[in-house]
């Protein structure tokens, strides 16, 4: 690995949580603006995390500590792999390992809220993972490779050929950001759903580590969204800004739905949209 890639990786690993935290702060500010109030300062997520790091440790089970650290390591590794411009499928699998370990940590506790949240988190993963694989296959069909350095050399923005697949990716983004209508296991802004869902039994410094890992994952998924307009910086920023704005608006407008609705709707709409987009691709090439 040459010096340039190494410095990219170090920069990405250091800057990603800062960017994720600032994004979370801007999110709360914008949500408050939509709701007709002022919101907390933009640095608020950092104050939350530092406060949580200073709290007393209260665990039920040593599995919780282990799983929280594995989740953080997997999130950091995914961002590092993206900076190294590695294979998209590898990034997907490392991401899955982290998410599964968070669920295992929640399931290691006999609290009913934690168990319910963990089962719901598994159903969420079941919902978005096939769609994410379909999006990666769509990118492969257009650019001919799963590796990010090959995708970045494609001369046109991929969004022009795969607009419907971008919609499918935003389903996965909504679920990962824990925003309505898909905030089934634990919600970003609704703080009392099923006590706290999958996050119920994590507290203090472990909750802080989970939050930092969540920031890494947000940056990763937004980076995957950014692959869809990798040719120009302005296009990239505009695409990501519009996507995130749409997420916040939809979060404020929709209620929290049931897991059955989420599974059926996202699979039906996601697979149909993917099918249409792939058919369009083949029709164009004919």
Partner 1 sequence: MGFFQELLHKSRMKSPWLIHFDCGSCNGCDIEVLACLTPVYDVERFGVLNIGNPKHADILVVSGTVNPRNAKVLKNIYDQMPEPKAVIAIGACGTSGGVFREAYNVLGGVDKVIPVDVYVPGCPSKPEAIIDGVVLALEKLKVRQPEKNTEPLVADLKKAREFYENREERQVTG
Binding site for partner 1 (CB under 8 A): 28, 32, 35-41, 44, 46-48, 50-51, 53-62, 110, 191-192, 195-196, 199-204, 207
- Tell me the closest approach of the beta carbon of residue 60 to partner 1, in angstroms: 5
Q: Give 50 or 246: the residue with its C-beta nearer to partner 1.
A: 50
By the 8 A CB rule, do 213 and 206 touch?
no
- Tell me the closest approach of the beta carbon of residue 52 to partner 1, in angstroms: 8
Q: Give 50 or 238: the residue with its C-beta nearer to partner 1.
A: 50
Q: Give 3 or 38: the residue with its C-beta nearer to partner 1.
A: 38
Q: Give 55 or 156: the residue with its C-beta nearer to partner 1.
A: 55
CA separation, residue 74 to residues 101, 138, 171, 242, 279 (Å): 10, 25, 22, 28, 35
- Dist CA 215 CA 221 (whole Å): 10
- Dist CA 286 CA 283 (whole Å): 5
Please confirm whether the linkage preceding 50 is cis (ω < 30° from 0).
Answer: no
Query: Phi then psi for 192, rounded to 5 degrees?
Result: -125, 20
By the 8 A CB rule, do 187 and 180 touch?
yes
Q: Give 77 or 108: the residue with its C-beta nearer to partner 1.
A: 108
By the 8 A CB rule, do 96 and 130 touch?
no
- Tell me the closest approach of the beta carbon of residue 28 to partner 1, in angstroms: 8
Give the closest residue to 199 by CA, choosing from 89, 150, 191, 84. 191
Q: Give 44 or 231: the residue with its C-beta nearer to partner 1.
A: 44
Query: Phi then psi for 280, rounded to 5 degrees?
Result: -60, -40
Element (H, E) at 99: helix 88-107
- Tell me the closest approach of the beta carbon of residue 244 to partner 1, in angstroms: 20
- Tell me the closest approach of the beta carbon of residue 181 to partner 1, in angstroms: 21
- Tell me the closest approach of the beta carbon of residue 260 to partner 1, in angstroms: 24
């Amino acid at each position: 690995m040459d010096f340039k890639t190494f410095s990219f990786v170090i920069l990405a690993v250091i800057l990603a949580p800062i960017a994720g935290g600032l994004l979370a702060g801007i999110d709360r500010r914008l949500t408050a603006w939509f709701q007709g109030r002022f919101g907390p300062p933009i640095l608020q997520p950092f104050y939350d995390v530092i406060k949580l790091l200073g709290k007393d440790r209260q665990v039920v089970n040593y599995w919780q500590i282990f799983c929280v650290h594995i989740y953080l390591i997997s999130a950091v590794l995914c961002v590092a792999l993206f900076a190294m411009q590695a294979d998209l499928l590898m990034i997907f699998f490392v991401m899955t390992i982290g998410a599964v370990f968070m669920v295992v940590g929640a399931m290691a506790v006999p609290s009913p809220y934690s168990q319910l949240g963990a089962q719901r988190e598994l159903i969420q993963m079941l919902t978005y993972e096939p769609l994410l694989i379909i999006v990666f296959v769509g990118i492969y069909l257009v650019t001919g490779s799963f590796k990010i350095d090959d995708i970045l050399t494609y001369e046109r923005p991929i969004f022009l050929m795969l607009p419907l697949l971008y919609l499918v990716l935003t389903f996965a983004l909504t679920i990962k950001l824990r925003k309505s209508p898909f905030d089934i296991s634990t919600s970003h802004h609704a703080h009392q759903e099923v006590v706290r869902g999958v996050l119920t039994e994590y507290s203090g410094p472990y909750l802080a580590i989970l939050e930092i890992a969540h920031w890494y994952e947000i940056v990763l998924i937004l980076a995957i969204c950014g692959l869809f307009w990798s040719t120009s910086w302005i296009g990239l920023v505009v695409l990501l800004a519009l996507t995130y704005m749409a997420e916040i608006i939809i979060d404020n407008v929709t209620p929290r739905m049931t897991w059955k609705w989420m599974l059926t709707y996202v699979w039906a709409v996601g697979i149909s949209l993917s099918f249409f987009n792939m058919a369009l691709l083949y029709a164009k090439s004919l």
